[in-house]
């Protein structure tokens, strides 16, 4: 994203790993969607393409679960980890080219930077209570950012960030790639607090101070909480706000299953409300599908 600006309204994509699972892919291992990227990159490309054809202006790479630590645990070398990071961007580029040929629209590629809790595969990204210091968190994020930057992404999507400490670690890690921009999206427990418990206003204020953070947002959070969270983030920043909540269902890390009810039929109406409250990047996270994004596209196209 060369000019560090957002358009008037940007449509993000929806859930990647859960959409792969819905299509029959196995994401049960510790590498989650990265396993599919390694074994069946064409499946990842197909999901990217369908989101673009549904109306997304920005797709997010299958790099959320890729890390040197996580891949080492699964038996992969550092070189193979770098290759996977690069592949996540290359696959997204292929989908973007195919979509452009069919629609004439250009799209952005945001490299997904998942939280440290993602490699623990125990649901801890939803509470952020890690036994790790901030210096190690900075190193964890920096090691991936460098390679994603070299792969040529448009920006970074630091997402499902559960705490202010981890968000600050992401900002520090970004300093190693000073020409790389990012949005930072927090996962939240209620209408006011991150999953870890910090006031989201304080988090937005801290991210507002970083010139490399070009948007601040909320993701993988229950849809009914988003409107209030937008208001609180808006009180602390003039930067664009991105929101991409989950479907309304919740992940039970103990049972390894989704619980609750989805908001499929009302997602377009919710997107309209989020836009009216100030969100300028809108999409979906876990368990949302291309049909959700088509609803967002229809609503935001009417607003344009």
pTM summary value: 0.93
User: What DSSP string describes 29-87?
Assistant: STTTHHHHHHH-HHHHHHHHHHHHHHT-SEEE-TTTT--HHHHHHTT--HHHHHHHHHH
Model pLDDT, residue 3: 45
Model pLDDT, residue 166: 98
Model pLDDT, residue 173: 98
- Tell me the HSE value of 288 on the side-chain side, using a 13 A CA sphere: 35
Instruction: Decide: helix, strand or coil at residue 239.
Output: coil
Model pLDDT, residue 260: 58
Whole-angstrom distance, CA of residue 27 vs CA of residue 251: 14
pLDDT digits over 192-210, tens only?
999 999 999 999 999 999 9
Cβ burial of 286 (10 Å; 0-12, 13-18, 19+) is buried
Q: Is there a contact between 188 and 202 (Cβ–Cβ < 8 Å)?
A: no
Model pLDDT, residue 121: 83
Taking 50 as the pLDDT cut, the residues of the chain under it are: 1-3, 252
274, two tokens: 């989020």
CATH topology of domain 10-303: TIM Barrel (3.20.20)
Q: Is there a contact between 227 and 221 (Cβ–Cβ < 8 Å)?
A: no
Model pLDDT, residue 9: 79
Whole-angstrom distance, CA of residue 285 vs CA of residue 13: 8
88, two tokens: 């996540």
Whole-angstrom distance, CA of residue 68 vs CA of residue 59: 23
Cβ burial of 215 (10 Å; 0-12, 13-18, 19+) is buried
Model pLDDT, residue 66: 97
């Amino acid at each position: 994203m060369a000019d560090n600006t957002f358009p008037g309204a940007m449509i993000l994509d929806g859930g990647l790993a859960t959409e792969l699972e819905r299509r029959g892919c196995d994401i049960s291992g510790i590498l989650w969607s990265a396993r599919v990227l390694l074994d069946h990159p064409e499946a990842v490309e197909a999901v990217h393409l369908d989101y673009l054809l549904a109306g997304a202006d920005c797709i997010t790479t299958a790099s959320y679960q890729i890390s040197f630590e996580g891949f080492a645990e699964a038996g992969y070398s550092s070189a193979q980890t770098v290759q996977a990071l690069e592949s996540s961007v290359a696959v997204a580029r292929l989908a973007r080219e195919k979509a452009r040929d069919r629609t004439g629209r250009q799209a952005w590629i945001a490299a997904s930077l998942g939280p440290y809790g993602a490699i623990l595969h125990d649901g801890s990204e939803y509470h952020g209570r890690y036994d790790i210091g901030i210096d190690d968190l900075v190193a964890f994020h920096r090691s991936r950012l460098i390679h994603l930057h070299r792969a040529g992404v448009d920006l970074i999507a630091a997402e499902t960030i559960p705490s202010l400490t981890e968000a600050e670690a992401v900002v520090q890690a970004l300093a190693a790639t000073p020409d790389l921009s990012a949005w930072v999206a927090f996962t939240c427990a209620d209408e006011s607090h991150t999953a870890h418990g910090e006031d989201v206003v304080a988090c937005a204020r801290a991210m507002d101070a970083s010139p490399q953070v070009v948007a601040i947002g909320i993701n993988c959070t229950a849809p009914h909480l988003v409107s209030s969270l937008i208001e609180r983030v808006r009180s602390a920043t003039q930067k664009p706000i991105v929101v991409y909540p989950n479907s309304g269902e919740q992940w039970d890390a103990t049972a390894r299953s989704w619980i609750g009810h989805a908001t499929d039929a009302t997602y377009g109406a919710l997107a309209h409300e989020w836009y009216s409250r100030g969100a300028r990047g809108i999409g979906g996270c876990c368990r949302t599908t291309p049909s959700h994004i088509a609803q967002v596209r229809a609503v935001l196209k009417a607003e344009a």
